């Protein structure tokens, strides 16, 4: 395999909703380039993409697949991404390391929510986009309606490169307004017959060609001048103008294909090879120090590890992009992220599970290596003395959680190792050992996402696991002031234990003035603050402790022990055992014994006094509430609204956005447990949502009653 120069390399992400036909399109692309001799099918489980066992089992893509194609003396690195919204992390990774996105749209269903989500991600990353209308041979295909829908959603930048003469079963020819030719395929697709445009199509073809020429000319002053003079551009000038339009996203070209019949695929690949930007045409990325790093093959060597897989008979495979310099097999590099050293003994160009060993990869190219010692997804490896680091892939917050445990408790350590490894393969699988909830919490993008992980653990690693509802991280607080005292006294021969603490607690908010006095019944308690400790809590909120002791009732050396006792109860609230927050404690009196007083005595006295006061301070349970945005088609908006209101949601607003309705709401986390599954069921999978932590809010009275009852029953059962 020849060494491709930076200016001969194009990196492309293949994107689209589930069922749009990306995997089939990838197969036809590889066939057209001669990489494979026979096209596989998804049904037969013989495609280059979707080669992992879980993908063959479920019949849909779970991981992105890297492949390359040598076409017209160019190297096209393509990353075929899963379409399901649950696996969006793969698409984000692919778009972050490639330069152009090809979004495949099912011509029978048009623009779906997943299409919009991918487009939104590409827009946020400023990536050029090309649309491929696929499955135009489907019986429900409606080209004109889909294009109209695209223009409504994506705007006037939609630019037709081709249009079909007929859709449905009769689809076999298109008018290419860039070439100004008619392309016709036989039943087996492949190479088309190129003909002149029929007279009955000429007016429309000329009109669309003129629109294309005008759109291309707008991106270059010289081309614009020529267009004004002649209203014509040469083919090379058109390519230049379209390339510039792609880079600044002023043109969104549309192609017509039937991937299953290999119609239109070669023509689209010619466009990818001849027109879309090369690696060095695109804005250069920046490192973590904000320095621009150009893909210079003569620059210092730096590579970024963007993907990890575990493959049968190979083990860990690390995929990378050469950010700068020229990588040669056997290179010794420093892992600046982890502070270790690595030797890349072998480097490969990859086509699914087929790996072709190469000796050299230049800046901008994508490759893989194996048998590294200490490399993780997201690491940067550099030549000696170079401290560049890259961190440009940003993943969405998780939307679905389950607690996970092995069927056999002794397998807990083994499960943790498996989950850690799987997080490397897909960073949107997140694992947390929650000390608060006493559970291992597995988070992901949806039920499919976590179900896929479960299948892999049980089938690949032969470890049965159980998914459970995760406990909710409630918080406890108080709503009024309360007073309590407690004497801890223990005598059992020899030195005993004695400590007495009097304290007052009240709700705390930032900026409160120092306490002056409190009144309970007819009794007033004056406070003289000698010292204040403000303790920020790891789980949010604060504990503020005021030492108001006068006359030496409690020695200063016992105050830290009392604070430890308070923290014991802040870490395990008296109501439900949840973390407590936002409490101010005034320790104003007490007693000690010259012999029997010690730290443990005052720790226990402080803990119990705090518990008594807390229960008298009109305590409340707080629950986490999330900001939720739901994108739905208009025809199911009422059903989605009703479902949200049944989940105690507060609707904050509604708006139309790019052809879909957006509902903004605040929803308790407790009610979001199975929301992704319910939403998919209500809308037939035509919707999506995002959620982000907003605040802690008081739970309703009936909910609090149930929580207290459940906690009391559990405590009784544990005794």
677 pLDDT higher than 90: no
**What string of H, E and C letters represents the secondary structure of 607-633?**
HHHHHHHHHHCCCEEEEEEEEEEEEEC
Residue ranges of alpha helices (H) inside 98-220 are: 113-124, 143-154, 199-217
- Coil vs helix vs strand at 28: helix
- Take residue 524 and report the two structure tokens written for it: 């007033």
List, in order of start, the domains of the chain with CATH numbers: 8-281 (3.40.50.300), 302-382 (2.40.30.10), 400-471 (3.30.70.870), 476-618 (3.30.230.10), 621-702 (3.30.70.240)
What is the average pLDDT value for the chain, to the nearest integer?
91
pLDDT grade for 658, boundaries at 50, 70 and 90: low
The answer to whether the CB of 65 falls within 8 A of the CB of 73 is no
Residue with the larger pLDDT of the pair 680 and 565: 565
313 pLDDT higher than 80: no
pLDDT at 8: 94
493 pLDDT higher than 70: no
Phi and psi angles of residue 58, each rounded to the nearest 5 degrees, phi first = -90, -20
User: For tokens 């997804």, what's the residue?
Assistant: 377
Angle between helices 199-217 and 235-247 (to 10 degrees): 60
pTM: 0.82
28-85 pLDDT, tens digit each: 998 888 888 888 888 788 888 877 778 877 777 888 999 998 888 899 999 999 988 8
267-286 pLDDT, tens digit each: 999 999 999 999 999 999 99
Other Cβ atoms within 10 Å of 457 Cβ, number: 20
Calpha distance 159→100 (Å, rounded): 16
249 pLDDT higher than 70: yes
Interval 492-517 mean pLDDT: 90
């Amino acid at each position: 395999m020849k060494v491709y120069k930076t200016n001969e390399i194009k990196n492309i992400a293949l994107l689209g909703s589930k069922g749009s036909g990306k995997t089939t399109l990838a197969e036809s692309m590889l066939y057209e380039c001669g990489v494979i001799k026979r096209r596989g099918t998804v049904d037969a489980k013989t495609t280059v993409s979707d080669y992992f066992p879980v993908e063959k089992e479920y019949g849909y893509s779970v991981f992105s697949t890297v492949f390359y194609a040598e076409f017209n003396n160019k190297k096209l690195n393509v990353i075929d991404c899963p379409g399901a919204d649950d696996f969006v992390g793969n698409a984000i990774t692919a778009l972050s390391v490639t330069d152009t996105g090809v979004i495949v749209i099912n011509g029978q269903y048009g623009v779906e929510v997943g299409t919009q989500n991918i487009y939104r991600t590409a827009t946020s990353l400023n990536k050029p986009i090309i649309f491929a209308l696929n499955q135009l041979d489907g019986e429900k295909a409606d080209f004109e309606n889909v294009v109209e829908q695209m223009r409504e959603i994506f705007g006037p930048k939609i630019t037709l490169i081709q249009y079909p003469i007929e859709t449905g079963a009769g689809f076999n020819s298109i008018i290419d307004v860039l070439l100004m030719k008619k392309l016709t395929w036989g039943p087996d697709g492949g190479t088309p017959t190129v003909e002149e445009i029929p007279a009955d199509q000429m007016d429309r073809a000329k009109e669309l060609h003129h629109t294309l020429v005008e759109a291309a000319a707008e991106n270059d002053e010289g081309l614009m001048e020529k267009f004004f003079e002649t209203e014509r551009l040469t083919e090379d000038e058109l390519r230049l103008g379209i390339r510039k339009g792609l880079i600044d996203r002023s043109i969104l070209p549309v192609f017509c294909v039937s991937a299953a019949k290999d119609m239109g695929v070669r023509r689209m690949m010619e466009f990818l090879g001849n027109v879309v930007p090369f690696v060095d045409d695109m804005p250069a990325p920046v490192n973590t120090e904000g320095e621009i790093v150009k893909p210079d093959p003569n620059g210092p060597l730096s590579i970024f590890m963007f993907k990890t897989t575990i493959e049968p008979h190979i083990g860990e495979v690390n995929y990378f992009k050469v950010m700068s310099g020229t990588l040669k097999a056997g290179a010794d590099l420093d892992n600046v992220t982890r502070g270790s050293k690595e030797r890349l003994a072998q480097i490969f160009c990859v086509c699914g599970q087929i790996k072709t060993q190469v000796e050299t990869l230049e800046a901008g190219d994508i490759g893989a290596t194996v048998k590294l010692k200490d490399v993780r997804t997201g690491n940067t490896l550099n030549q000696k003395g170079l401290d560049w680091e890259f961190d440009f892939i940003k993943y969405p917050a998780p939307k679905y959680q389950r607690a996970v445990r092995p069927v056999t408790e002794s397998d807990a350590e083994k499960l943790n190792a498996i989950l850690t490894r799987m997080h490397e393969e897909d960073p949107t699988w997140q694992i947390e050992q929650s000390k608060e909830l006493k559970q291992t919490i597995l988070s992901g993008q949806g039920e499919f996402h976590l179900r896929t992980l479960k299948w892999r653990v049980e089938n690949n690693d032969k470890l049965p696991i159980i998914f459970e509802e995760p406990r909710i991280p409630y918080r406890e607080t108080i709503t009024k002031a309360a007073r309590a005292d407690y004497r801890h006294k223990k005598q059992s021969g020899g030195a005993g234990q004695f400590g007495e603490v009097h304290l007052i607690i009240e709700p705390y908010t930032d900026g409160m003035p120092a306490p002056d006095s409190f009144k309970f019944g007819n009794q007033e308690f004056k406070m003289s603050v000698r010292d204040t400790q403000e303790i920020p809590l790891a789980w949010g909120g604060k504990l503020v402790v005021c030492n108001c002791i006068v006359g030496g009732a409690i020695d200063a050396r016992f105050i830290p022990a009392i604070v430890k006792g308070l923290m014991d109860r802040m870490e395990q609230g008296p109501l439900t055992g949840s973390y407590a927050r936002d409490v101010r404690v005034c320790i104003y009196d007490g007693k000690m014994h010259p012999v029997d007083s010690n730290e443990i005595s005052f720790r226990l006295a402080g803990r119990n006094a705090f518990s008594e006061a807390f229960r008298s301070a009109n305590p409340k349970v707080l629950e986490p509430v999330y900001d939720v945005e739901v994108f739905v088609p208009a025809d199911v908006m009422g059903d989605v609204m009703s479902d949200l209101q049944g989940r105690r949601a507060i609707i904050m607003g509604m708006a139309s956005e790019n052809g879909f309705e957006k509902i903004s709401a605040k929803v308790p986390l407790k009610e979001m447990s199975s929301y992704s599954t319910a939403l998919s069921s209500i809308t037939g999978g035509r919707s999506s949502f995002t959620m982000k932590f907003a605040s802690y809010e008081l739970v309703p009275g009936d909910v609090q009653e149930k929580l207290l009852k459940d906690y009391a029953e559990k405590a009784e059962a544990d005794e």
